[in-house]
Amino acid sequence: MFITAISKKLKITTRAIRHYEEIGIINSKRLENNYRYFDQVNVDKLKFLVRARKLGFSLEECKELILLFENDNRRSEHVREIAKNKLKSIKKQITDLKDLEKSLKWLVLKCPGDNKPDCPIIDELAKG
Amino acid sequence: MFITAISKKLKITTRAIRHYEEIGIINSKRLENNYRYFDQVNVDKLKFLVRARKLGFSLEECKELILLFENDNRRSEHVREIAKNKLKSIKKQITDLKDLEKSLKWLVLKCPGDNKPDCPIIDELAKG
DNA sequence: GTATACCCTTACGTTAAGGTCAATATGTTT
DNA sequence: AAACATATTGACCTTAACGTAAGGGTATAC
């Protein structure tokens, strides 16, 4: 398959695909005219990558996962460890964002939102 | 105050402070030796900025908030609108992350995490 | 007179792509 | 064969908020 066909199939841009190749996550063959050609193996890898990205893994992490994907001697504990770490960081992000949400909610609630300058939000940010 | 003193006081790096100045959010005076000098007004602005950053506002948003902070003719509804928009985007981020968390949790649970290659996480990412 | 603790500017690196470009390549009309 | 439309290529620019390093000035203490 050519790059545009895959990009449509996987709903990602051609630019993204080239980027993944540039940083060595995936690869492709070249035809005589220098066009990229993706065989089934490469398409499957790309599919894997897209799915992993959707699960929140960074490209670095995806790279690692693909190596495991391709390694028949992998240990599932290794894969699980990566997923657990990601889960941990996602949990932290959620906690942090919830804290922000709480503070912001409270401030928005306290602010009259009228045409006068007195504003508890500004006051809170400015307080000594 | 000099830049290092403030950075220690506000627990941010000197690089961050210079950056804020570079992009025109804050400003400072210069002494004869070209050192930055921050008077009380500038320190207060920086404090405001640091607090706003902690609440998750981008530097662009902080810039806007500081303009309102300094504008005695502001309307509190303007400030409230900015905070409400931020709140909305934070809520969306939380929802998205929770979805990821759910998927990952399930995968981690299903994976045996032993020394064998069979891994439901890999299978899930690779599935047709 | 040198050690150290500051301070300065310039400028490239980071994440994960998206945008834009000119230069080729291919395919279809005329 | 020439004109035109569409694909593809690599390369460089941009984003956010700094981090990091290089290379050099200044101030105080010992």
CB count within 10 Å of CB B35 equals 11
pLDDT at A23 over 90: no
Write the single-letter amino acid at B73.
Answer: N
pLDDT at B21 over 90: yes
Structure tokens that stand for A17 in this block? 């695909």
- pLDDT-derived band at A127 (thresholds 50, 70, 90) equals confident
- pLDDT-derived band at A128 (thresholds 50, 70, 90) equals confident
Best of A121, A124, A127 to mutate (most B CBs within 10 Å, chain B): A121
Q: Which of A86, A88, A48, A111 is nearest to B128 (CA)?
A: A48
- pLDDT-derived band at B128 (thresholds 50, 70, 90) equals confident
User: Any idea which nucleotide's C1' is nearest the CA of A17?
Assistant: C17
User: Any idea which nucleotide's C1' is nearest the CA of B34?
Assistant: C8
The rounded distance, in Å, linking the Cα atoms of B15 and A126 is: 23
Q: Identify the CATH assignment for B3-126 out of 3.40.50.2000, 1.10.10.10, 3.40.50.720, 1.10.1660.10.
A: 1.10.1660.10
Say which DSSP state A60 is in: H
Residue range B83-98, pLDDT digits in tens: 999 999 999 999 999 9
What CATH class is the domain A1-59?
Answer: mainly alpha
Q: Which of B81, B127, B91, B77 is nearest to B107 (CA)?
A: B127
In the three-class reduction of DSSP (H, G, I as helix; E, B as strand; rest coil), residue B36 is classed as strand
Q: What is the pLDDT at residue B38?
A: 95
Residue range A103-113, pLDDT digits in tens: 999 999 999 99
Mean pLDDT of chain B: 93
Per domain, the residue ranges of chain B are 3-126
CB < 7 A contacts with chain D (nucleic strand): A 2-5, 14-15, 18, 34-36; B 12-13, 15-16, 19-20, 33, 53, 58-60
In this complex, the residue of A68, A105, A119 whose CB is nearest that of residue B122 is: A68
**Cβ-defined contact of B76 to A52 (cutoff 8 Å):** no
| Nucleic acid strand D: bases within 7 A of protein CB | 7-11, 16-20, 26-27
- pLDDT-derived band at A1 (thresholds 50, 70, 90) equals confident
The rounded distance, in Å, linking the Cα atoms of A89 and B54 is: 19
pLDDT at B122 over 90: yes
The rounded distance, in Å, linking the Cα atoms of B102 and B127 is: 19
Chain A residue at shortest CA distance from B89: A101
Average pLDDT over residues A67-95: 92
Q: Are B67 and A117 in contact (CB under 8 A)?
A: no
Chain B residue at shortest CA distance from A50: B125
**Cβ-defined contact of A108 to B79 (cutoff 8 Å):** no
Average pLDDT over residues B33-45: 94
Q: What is the pLDDT at residue B15?
A: 95
Helix axes B59-70, B40-54, angle to 10 degrees: 130
* pLDDT above 70 as % of chain B: 100
Average pLDDT over residues B95-116: 93
Average pLDDT over residues A25-34: 89
- pLDDT-derived band at B39 (thresholds 50, 70, 90) equals very high
The reply to whether A86 has its C-beta less than 7 Å from any atom of strand C is no
**Cβ-defined contact of B87 to A101 (cutoff 8 Å):** yes
The reply to whether B8 has its C-beta less than 7 Å from any atom of strand C is no
- pLDDT-derived band at B18 (thresholds 50, 70, 90) equals very high
Q: Are B62 and B25 in contact (CB under 8 A)?
A: yes
Report the gap between the CA of B64 and the closest CA in chain A (Å): 12
Average pLDDT over residues B31-58: 94
Chain A residue at shortest CA distance from B98: A94
Q: What is the pLDDT at residue B67?
A: 93
